[in-house]
Amino acid sequence: MKIRFYNAKILTMESNAEIFDGEVWVEDTRILYVGNGENKEEFLKKAGIVCLLWDEEIDCEGNLLMPGFKDAHTHSGMTLLRSYADDLPLQNWLNEQIFPTEAKLCEEDIYEASRLAVLEYLTSGITGIFDMYLAPEATGRACKEMGMRCALVSGLNNFTQSPEFMEKMYQTYHLDNEDSLLSFQLGVHAEYTCSKELLEKTADMSHKYKAPVFMHLSETEAEVKACRERYGMTPVQFLDSIGMFEYGGGGYHCVHMDEKDMEIFERRGLHVITNPASNMKLASGIAPITEFLKRGISVSIGTDGAASNNCLDMFREMFLVSGLAKVREKDAAVVEALEVLKMACVNGAKAMQSADCDALAEGKKADLIMIDLQQPNMQPLQHTAQNIVYSGSKQNIKMTMINGKILYRDGKFYVGVTPDEIYRNVNHILRRIKETQG
């Protein structure tokens, strides 16, 4: 398949936020050409291409093409629990509502919930997700069938999954699976849900495969306090002390980090994946994003699951990353819009170890979106990149392409299944769960 996008504004996110008029050509799963069109002939000659026959030519009508957003921490299977238990203190929310309900979910339920999540990702211009949940294979299946790029990560803990399962997943989806939409990273749910033995086994496995490890990390004050009581160290320092971060990785949330934690992140090149909406709604706090940036720590952005957020919307997250940092530091100048856009497009791809999805450039994966500039919230046309971060919303997503395939365009989905079928199924599952309650 060869697709030509023309009459476009283009934001490559390669090195700066310059926007230019031009074209993007896609061949199969990758980007063949990005440019202002002036060097087209030269490019074709150099590439030894005599004749290009397009399968589709798309007039962008002056709208903006840019790399898709990466949702670098999510639990797709949790869409079933959207608005299921709001406005509760964190511990009640988790122990009395979320955990008991999750215990009733089977793999097929998580598959359906993940399909619903994929629809929502597409409406928000999300072209890659970093997903940790109870049944990674079910989520992986949903993503693969629908065309969503997904880095799965194991959520190993004392109650579900095991080192053996993790290793099997790693071998199947990471080592043997380079060309697919799916990949796999080692991960544990969190320090506080794992025995020391389990954590040590995970560290050993990361050494065996020279692989990074990811986990929920320093999300709440209580979590850090309990870890100090258990091991005399913060979660970051304890995990580092058992060799968990020898080959990199990172943490989801990272709200409550001390100086020494940040030094470890800096020294080891670990990724912070921030989840501002979830941290706000569950009253966990505001992450010290300005501190991370000052130290050159890579920050990317996740929505967290729909039970805590409650939507999977990178526009809201982007605004919050900047806005919450401003109010935290009492300084309207910190965490500029363009920095946030880089987190959402580029850093997220790196955290997911999918660096070739980060930008619009020749040879990169064709994971791109079209932003509708003809909506009132994008007018007048000035500082468009800032507008995307501070004013953008789902209504601005005109098209979402992943791996060279258009999966969403002008409000319609092209994912091999109708939204109606998915909605019917998730509502059916929800009724079943409620009937077995009590």
Q: Can you tell me the distance from the alpha carbon of 174 to that of 184, in angstroms, rounded to the nearest whole number?
A: 5
Task: Point out which span in 12-20, 207-215, 256-264, 419-427 binds a copy of itself (CB under 8 A).
Answer: 419-427
Q: Between 48 and 438, name the residue whose CB sits nearer to a copy of itself.
A: 438
Rule CB under 8 A: choose which of 16, 21, 89, 158 binds a copy of itself.
89
Report how far apart the first and last C-alpha atoms of the chain are (Å, whole number). 53
Query: Measured from the CB atom, is 296 or 411 closer to a copy of itself?
Result: 411
In this chain, which stretch among 7-15, 82-90, 153-161, 205-213 interacts with a copy of itself, using CB under 8 A?
A: 82-90
Q: Which of 331, 356, 362, 421 binds a copy of itself (CB under 8 A)?
A: 331
Q: How far is the CB of 310 from a copy of itself (least distance, A)?
A: 4
Q: Which is nearer to a copy of itself, 169 or 385 (CB)?
A: 385
Tracing tokens 């921490």 back to the chain, one arrives at 73
Query: Do residues 31 and 364 make contact, with C-beta atoms less than 8 angstroms apart?
Result: yes
Residue 286 touching a copy of itself (CB under 8 A): yes
Span 245-274, contacts to a copy of itself by CB under 8 A: none
State how far the alpha carbon of 281 is from the alpha carbons of 54, 85, 393, in Å: 47, 12, 19
Residues touching a copy of itself, count (CB under 8 A): 74
Nearer Cβ to a copy of itself (239/257): 257
d(CA 86, CA 145): 32
Chain-centroid distance of CA 295 in Å reads 22
Please report how close the Cβ of residue 403 comes to a copy of itself at its closest, in angstroms. 20
Backbone angles phi, psi at 152, to 5 degrees: -80, 150
Q: To the nearest whole angstrom, how small is the minimum distance from the Cβ of residue 386 to a copy of itself?
A: 4
Exposed, middle or buried: residue 438 (CB in 10 Å: 0-12, 13-18, 19+)? exposed
Please report, as residue ranges, which positions from 333 to 362 form the binding site for a copy of itself (by CB under 8 A).
Answer: 333-337
Interaction with a copy of itself in 122-161: which residues (CB under 8 A)? Answer: 123
Alpha-carbon gap, residue 194 to 156, rounded angstroms:
8
Residue with tokens 């283009």: 10
Among 82, 268, 364, 398, binds a copy of itself (CB under 8 A): 82
Residues 90, 284: contact at Cβ < 8 Å? Answer: yes
Smallest distance from a copy of itself to CB 33, Å: 29
- In the region spanning residues 376 to 405, those forming contacts with a copy of itself, defined by CB under 8 A, are 376-377, 379-384, 386-387, 390-395
Q: Which is nearer to a copy of itself, 23 or 112 (CB)?
A: 112
CB of 96 to a copy of itself, least distance (A): 13
Q: Quick one: tokens of 87?
A: 């406005």
Residue with tokens 């495969």: 209
Least Cβ distance, residue 330 to a copy of itself (angstroms)? 5
Query: Whole-angstrom Cα distance, residue 318 to residue 275?
Result: 10
Exposed (0-12), middle (13-18) or buried (19+): which is 383, by Cβ within 10 Å? middle
Beta carbon nearer to a copy of itself, 47 or 88: 88
Is the Cβ of residue 353 or residue 396 nearer to a copy of itself in the bound state?
A: 396
Among 272, 282, 401, 406, binds a copy of itself (CB under 8 A): 282
CA–CA dist 256, 262 (Å, integer)? 10
Residue 79 near a copy of itself by CB under 8 A? yes
Residue 76 contacts residue 139 (beta carbons within 8 Å): yes
The interface with a copy of itself within residues 301-330 (CB under 8 A) comprises 306, 309-313, 315-316, 319, 322-324, 326-327, 329-330
* Shortest distance in whole angstroms from residue 23 CB to a copy of itself: 23
Using rule CB under 8 A, residue 374 touches a copy of itself: yes
Q: Which of 25, 33, 69, 93 binds a copy of itself (CB under 8 A)?
A: 93
3-state secondary structure of 9: strand
User: In this structure, what are the phi and psi dihedrals at residue 22, rounded to the nearest 5 degrees?
Assistant: 180, -155
Q: DSSP letters of 290-331? A: HHHHHTT-EEEE----TTTS----HHHHHHHHHHHHHHHHT-
Nearer to a copy of itself, 307 or 351 (CB): 307
Where are any strands of DSSP class E within 169-270? 182-190, 213-217, 249-253
Distance, in Å, from the CA atom of 370 to the CA atom of 257, rounded to the nearest integer, reads 37
Q: Which of 279, 298, 300, 403 binds a copy of itself (CB under 8 A)?
A: 279
Peptide bond into 310 cis (omega under 30): yes
The structure tokens listed for 76 are 């797709």
Q: Say if residues 2 and 26 touch (Cβ distance below 8 Å).
A: yes
Binding positions for a copy of itself, 209-238, rule CB under 8 A? none
Q: In this complex, which beta carbon is closest to a copy of itself, that of residue 259 or of residue 420?
A: 420
| Minimum distance, C-beta of residue 313 to a copy of itself, in the bound complex (Å) | 6
Report the residue number, 248 or 285, with the smaller CB distance to a copy of itself: 285
